[in-house]
Amino acid sequence: MARTDLWSGLLLTLFGALIFWRASTFPSMAGLVYGPGLFPSIAAVGLMVCGALLLVSALVIQGRTMAAGAADRAEADHRPSMDRRRAGARLAALVLIVAGFGLALEPLGFHVTSILAITATARLFGLNLLRALCLSVPLTFGVHLLFYSVMHVPLPWGVMTPLAW
């Protein structure tokens, strides 16, 4: 686990740095205080912070494991194959959810797609349906309020176009 987190943290940090660098090359737009690179830059900083935290925690765990001795280290790295299969299936499902979000965003709209994606992700990580909906609906409308109403970023309405304000 610590070794996997080490690589995941490193890759996440590098990926965030790449996004930040690419977002800094976006041209600025006339009449706007912020340009089109602002949102990718914010997301990139979040990725870099999460990647760095994952990397540091993996290094701390790895250091403790090494200090505990070789026998304990072998035990800490041991994972039953069933856990690995479940983790792999969960990762594949998460990739499918993200891909489905990208494909369904335009035709279904931000609200429907976000509620479905967040609910599916929450269910994937163990929340029951009611709690998943209690998470996804306010989160979706909160993000809509932030992006559409406050920052004036157009979001696709899709099937909810007749209800657009």
Inside any domain, residue 97 = yes
Is 56 in the same domain as 89? Answer: no
- d(CA 112, CA 29) in angstroms, rounded, equals 30
Locate all alpha helices (DSSP H) within 69-149, ordered by sequence: 70-77, 81-108, 110-124, 129-144
Beta carbons of 96 and 144 less than 8 angstroms apart: no
Is 92 in the same domain as 153? Answer: yes
Beta carbons of 37 and 23 less than 8 angstroms apart: yes
Inside any domain, residue 90 = yes
Nearest of 117, 91, 89 to residue 103 by alpha carbon: 117
- d(CA 102, CA 114) in angstroms, rounded, equals 10
Stated pTM of the model: 0.60
91: Cα separation from own chain's centroid: 12
- Domain range for 120 is 85-160
Judged by DSSP in three states, 160 sits in helix
Tens digits of pLDDT across the chain (165 residues): 567 788 888 999 999 999 999 988 888 877 777 778 888 899 999 999 999 999 999 888 888 877 776 555 555 555 566 677 788 888 899 899 999 999 999 999 999 999 999 999 999 988 999 999 999 999 999 999 988 888 788 888 889 888 877
48: Cα separation from own chain's centroid: 12
Nearest of 20, 14, 87 to residue 51 by alpha carbon: 14
Provide the domain count of the chain: 2
Is 148 in the same domain as 90? Answer: yes
